[in-house]
Amino acid sequence: MLRNITPYLFFNGNCKEALDFYSKALDGNVNGIMTYGEANEASAEDPNRIIHSQLDVDGRTFMLSDIPKDDQPAVKDRNVYIVLEFDSEDAVAKAYEHLKEDSQVYIELADMFWGAKYAKLVDKYNIGWDLSYTYPQNEQ
């Protein structure tokens, strides 16, 4: 049985920029940033790349990191869709407005046949997002 799922997002040298962007878009709090240099990890081309950071959003945790080198085959150009289920229409709309900036929107935020307000996009950092607010059965 799963107790928790924590998305871990990898970037190619722009983790700090992405961390700032997501903390604003999702009203999150940055809870620690460590660079490769601070960790005395020599595998990175740039000691200022981030080896680990954590973003806390409404009791949920996202971990973010830069890959150590531009050509790291295990994590280079990988992405994943992250499903975010919101507790209100306002919350999903606010996140959508921030995340769609410079993004490829595949499904605009709209009411869906399955009883949700939903959007699908890939953001400017190549991370896929499914944003959703499910209406209570008597609300739609």
Each of the 140 residues of the chain gets a pLDDT tens digit; together they read 446 778 989 888 899 999 999 999 999 999 999 999 999 888 888 999 999 999 999 999 999 998 887 766 555 555 567 889 999 999 999 999 999 999 999 999 999 988 999 999 989 998 889 899 999 987 55
- C-alpha dist (Å) from residue 55 to 1, 43, 50, 95, 123: 24, 24, 13, 15, 17
Helix axis angle, 15-25 to 89-99, nearest 10°: 150
Strands of the 60-66 sheet, one edge to the other: 8-11, 60-66, 50-57, 29-35
CA dist., res. 51 & res. 47, Å (int): 9
